[in-house]
Structure 1
Amino acid sequence: MRKKQKKIIREQLDDTLSRFSTIASVNRPMKGWIRAIRDALGMNMRQFAERLGVSKSRIPRIEHDEITGSLTLKTMNRVADKLDCVFVYGFVPRTSLDDTVRKQASIIAQKRMNRLMHTMSLEAQGLSSKNVKKAFNNMVEEIIDSPSMLWEKDK
């Protein structure tokens, strides 16, 4: 895929994901969403178990597994449906995807520049700070344009 297409795709996904940024700050209730919603609906464990088609003894386990993060997505979907809810699952980036890519490219470029500057100093060659900055910025753009190297370890 060409670099412009990748950038457009990143921007479109950023736009979509930005709508979820407020959700990232919502804290899960201490007893979990399942228990909180079940209690708010006035549904006891027996009633909830009947709706889910499981034994009453399974309900505390489901609620516990949600809190510990071990409840499967399939079960979360099923539980949400029986609580007349929609289960929402997704990732909310801390920054834009473009910023994440640029930050990673800058890290790689800085490592490369450090090696390059060391080699040049050994050969008694030097660059002006303006040229160093220009070379660094060019390197960042080159890395962004070659995403296969972006996430390689120690490059």
Structure 2
Amino acid sequence: MSVKRAVRQQYQIIVDTTQGTNIRTPAEGWIRTVRKALGMSGAQLAKRMGLTRARIAQAEKAELEGGVTLKSMQAAAEAMGCHFVYAFVPPDTIENVIIAQARKKAQKITGIAGKHMALEDQAVSAARTNQEVVRLMNELIYEMPPDFWEEK
């Protein structure tokens, strides 16, 4: 196994630890939800953070709009006695995400080749096409060409 492949697998293990978690952002956002759960007013949080109440309202609004900074979230969490964590949670294991991309690319490649073959009246059976898709998938997964994630 190559060093590059071993390193990629170690990263996959790290990312896969988030898979299956069901963390969803509350409708009112994390800052407001945790603050309310603690029974803390906006003014009290502002005082703990050395900010104005208006700034807390801005941060809560920015969080809902996707414009809050990680630094602001970290500061708010600490002011409320919490740890701030962010993560990317894949829908499946990273290996399966890679397999799906390889299948997509392999199907596209075989589809293009199949069209050319059909134009030359040399169409290949569906079973043979499926075998070629699997072969290409395995090759793509192993080699991970530079254009692997490009949507050409």
Unaligned runs of 5+ in 2: none
Residues 38 and 83 of structure 1 are in contact (CA less than 8 Å); yes or no, is this contact kept in structure 2? yes
What SS is found at the alignment partner of 1:148?
coil
What SS is found at the alignment partner of 2:146?
helix
Structure 1 position 16 matched with structure 2 position 14? yes
Q: CA RMSD in A?
A: 2.4
What is the TM-score normalised by the length of structure 1?
A: 0.79
Residues 102 and 148 of structure 2 are in contact (CA less than 8 Å); yes or no, is this contact kept in structure 1? yes
| Match of residue 148 from structure 2 | 150
Structure 1 position 72 matched with structure 2 position 92? no
Q: CA deviation at 1:80?
A: 0.9
Structure 1 position 139 matched with structure 2 position 121? no
1:73-92 Cα offsets, whole Å, 9 max, x none, are 11111111111111111100
| Match of residue 38 from structure 1 | 35
Structure 1 position 86 matched with structure 2 position 83? yes
Unaligned runs of 5+ in 1: none
Alpha carbons of structure 1 residues 27 and 118: separation in structure 2 relative to 1, 3 Å: closer
Structure 1 position 98 matched with structure 2 position 95? yes
Residues 20 and 91 of structure 2 are in contact (CA less than 8 Å); yes or no, is this contact kept in structure 1? no
Q: Structure 1: which 4+ aligned runs deviate by more than 4 Å?
A: 3-7, 126-130
Structure 1 position 48 matched with structure 2 position 56? no
Distance, in Å, in 2 between the alignment partners of 1:128 and 1:46 is 70
Distance, in Å, in 2 between the alignment partners of 1:39 and 1:4 is 51
What is the TM-score normalised by the length of structure 2?
A: 0.81
Residues 49 and 58 of structure 1 are in contact (CA less than 8 Å); yes or no, is this contact kept in structure 2? yes
Q: Which is further off, 61-70 or 115-124?
A: 115-124
Alpha carbons of structure 1 residues 39 and 135: separation in structure 2 relative to 1, 3 Å: closer
Distance, in Å, in 2 between the alignment partners of 1:101 and 1:22 is 17
Residues 49 and 76 of structure 2 are in contact (CA less than 8 Å); yes or no, is this contact kept in structure 1? yes
Residues 143 and 149 of structure 1 are in contact (CA less than 8 Å); yes or no, is this contact kept in structure 2? no
